[in-house]
Amino acid sequence: MFEGLSNRFGDIFGSLRKKGRITESDIESTCEELRVALLEADVALSVVEKFVANIEQKSLEALPNLRQSTTQSQEIYGIINQELVSILGGAARRIRFAKQPPTVIMLAGLQGSGKTTLAGKLARFLKEDGNTPLLVAADLQRPNAVTQLSVLADSLKIPVFAPEPGNGVGDPVRVSRDAISFAREKMYNVVIVDTAGRLGVDSELMKQASDIRDAITPDEILFVVDAMIGQDAVRTAQAFSEGVGFDAVVLTKLDGDAKGGAALSIAELTGKPILFTSTGEKLSDFDYFYPDRMASRILGMGDIQTLAEQAKKAMDGESAKRLEEKFVSGEDFTLEDFLEQLQAMKKMGSMTKLLGMLPGANNAAMKKQIDSLDDSELVRTQSIVQSMTPDERRNPKVLNGSRRLRIARGSGRTVTEVNSLVDRFAAAQKVMKQMRTGGGMPQGVSLPPGISLPAGGASHSPSRLTPPAKKKSRSGNPAKRAAEEGR
């Protein structure tokens, strides 16, 4: 979503770095470029003006000290980063849980914002954190909204309170109130109420939302906003804030190709923080919003923290520890281990999305390489490994021609693809052995995905690290040889 803005910021910083010694006019021209870039990204004018004014003021105040620095452009970059974090909401916020369960979370928003799907994502997120959520189908207006939430809840193995069929039938206020009593009775510690939306903010929507709010006194009212609708998202949030009120914003469809102005405007203009973001269609594409990490991505510095957290979630600690011990002890890395890594990578999501979190991912050359990646390659590779027997995975040397033909047929791939995978895996095994004996990592060769190397590297003996002395040649002339040996 922020690709265009990130590229513009990259160009601005590139020009600033070339300046060397920065002057007042350099700061003014940089601020003007930032202003244009943000307006083109559909950021609200009032937010842009405040953002740029703060950067210009702080940069000019810091200029006397900057002249003593050898990294003047980095100092300006730091000021811009701080201001960007500030307009995104400052410090990250978390859900406020009730002292006396259940914690009641009310979801509100326009129709089409992805509210019902988000209810499922939020329930899954809270369940993974050890909570016992209950979903409540209080959207009785939209056709099949109750059915959609019930199907979602069933797929997640999460209970749903849906006493009414919906499609215009039933009282959403009574359903919401009864759900709280049901949650207390069944000992659910979180209640997520999915309410009805409209095609636009109107008096009927406001009245129904206010009635539900008064009936259940929620601990959190989350306003769900489609980030793809730009400045309309900000206007909608402001109108709802004045009419009903809410505690935080949830941004959906952040993986879209919109300019991103809503995300950069909404926290500043509503005075409410962004609590969660939804970044894809999968139910796992959901997390807390971190202003500092988002600022880092916009400024082209990537998001290594989120990437590391996703990797940690994908591979449990026991598996990572076992593979590390295996590496240190000198045991061979097998295709069974490789399959485990492939499955962990699939849990993490799209390779394109993951690599997009790396610093410099919006660089033209790197972006071209990332875009050329084929996510289905993981699926094809996994199908080949899964078509092998356990013995073949543990000992690929037994893979003769007939076995490879059987694997190719079983996986729906060609024998050439099977051979290529086995050959590349054998090469990776040799690399790991070389690293264990102090040979280091050869250029142009990478380990299979997800391998953990021990901190500080493998242990080595001095004899392995010191190359043997080169043997001197002996002269064929007896007199000369005798003279050499007598030295």
- Residues across the chain: 487
**Tens-place pLDDT, residues 23-62:** 888 889 999 999 998 888 888 888 899 999 999 999 888 8
Instruction: Give me the pLDDT at residue 327, please.
Output: 62
Do 122 and 264 lie in one domain? The reply is yes
Instruction: Count how many domains the chain has.
Output: 3
Last residue of a domain, one of 266, 301, 336: 301
Q: Is residue 18 part of a domain?
A: yes
**Residue 368 and residue 351 in one domain:** yes
Per residue in 238-275, is it b (16+ CB within 10 Å) or e — as a string? bebbebbebbbbbbbbbbeebbbbbbbbbbbbbebbbb
Question: Between vectors from CA 481 to CA 478 and to CA 485, what angle results, nearest 5°?
Answer: 140
Q: What percent of the chain has pLDDT over 90?
A: 30
Q: Which residue has the higher pLDDT, 61 or 338?
A: 61
Q: What is the pLDDT of residue 330?
A: 63
Q: From 222, 202, 58, 99, select the one nearest 141 (Cα to Cα).
A: 202
Range of the domain at 69: 3-87
How does residue 467 score in pLDDT terms, banded at 50, 70 and 90?
A: very low
Confidence label for 448 from pLDDT (cuts 50, 70 and 90): very low
- CATH code for the domain of 48: 1.20.120.140
Q: Are residues 129 and 203 in the same domain?
A: yes
SS3 109: strand
Let me know whether 115 and 229 are in one domain: yes
Question: Are both 174 and 46 inside the same structural domain?
Answer: no
CA distance 62 to 83: 15
- Whether 458 contacts 438, CB under 8 Å: yes
In tens, the pLDDT along 395-408 reads: 888 999 999 999 99
* Residue 116 forms part of a structural domain: yes
Residue for token pair 């929620």: 218
Amino acid at 346: K
* pLDDT > 80? residue 84: yes
> CA of 227: how far to CAs of 26, 87, 109, 221, 237, in Å?
34, 16, 12, 18, 11
**Within-domain flag for 130:** yes
**Whether residues 406 and 340 fall in one domain:** yes
CB atoms under 10 Å from CB of 313, counted, come to 13
- Whether 33 is covered by a domain: the verdict is yes
| 466 found inside a domain | no
Confidence at 76, pLDDT banded by 50, 70, 90: confident
Residue 384 has pLDDT above 70, yes or no: yes
51 and 158: one domain? no
Structure token pair of residue 287: 């997390």
Residue type, 90: G
Burial class (CB in 10 A: 0-12, 13-18, 19+), 327: buried
Task: Annotate 142-191 with DSSP letters as a single string.
Answer: STTHHHHHHHHHHHHT--EE--S-BTTBS-HHHHHHHHHHHHHHHT-SEE
Quickly tell me which residue has 């054998």 as its tokens: 426
Residue 176 · residue 102 · CB < 8 Å: no
Is 98 within a domain? no
Percent of the chain at pLDDT above 70? 72
Same domain, 241 and 131: yes
How far is Cα 166 from Cα 146, in angstroms, rounded to an integer? 6
Task: Judge if 295 and 341 occupy the same domain.
Answer: no
Angle subtended at Cα 87 by Cα 85 and Cα 92, rounded to the nearest 5 degrees: 55
For residue 176, pLDDT beyond 70: yes
Average pLDDT over residues 317-325: 64
CB-based burial label for 463 (10 Å; 0-12, 13-18, 19+): exposed
pLDDT of residue 192 exceeding 90:
yes
Does some domain include residue 205?
yes
- Quick one: average pLDDT of 141-156? 93
Domain boundary, last residue among 54, 87, 120: 87
What average pLDDT does the segment 326-333 reach?
66
- pLDDT of 229 > 80? The answer is no
In this structure, the answer to whether residues 150 and 45 fall within a common structural domain is no
Residue 299 in this model has a pLDDT that exceeds 80: no
Distance of CA 87 to the CA centre of its chain: 21
Give the model confidence (pLDDT) of 110-139 as tens digits.
Answer: 888 889 999 999 999 999 999 999 999 999
**Residue 42 confidence (pLDDT):** 82
Residue 469 · residue 479 · CB < 8 Å:
no
pLDDT at 69 over 80: no
Mean per-residue pLDDT, 338-366: 61
Per-residue model confidence (pLDDT) at position 454: 40
pLDDT of residue 432: 67
Cα–Cα distance measured from residue 273 to residue 95, given in angstroms and rounded to the nearest whole number: 11
Dist CA 150 CA 416 (whole Å): 46
Give the domain-ending residue among 57, 87, 117: 87
CATH number at residue 345: 1.10.260.30
Domain co-membership, 58 together with 200: no
CATH number for position 254: 3.40.50.300
147 and 74 fall within a common domain: no
Do residues 223 and 266 lie in contact, with contact meaning Cβ atoms separated by under 8 Å? no
The radius of gyration of the chain's CA atoms, rounded to the nearest angstrom, is 29
Look at residues 282, 164, 190, 276 and name the one whose alpha carbon lies nearest to residue 225.
276
Examine the pLDDT at 465 and tell me if it is beyond 90.
no
Over residues 67-85, mean pLDDT: 81
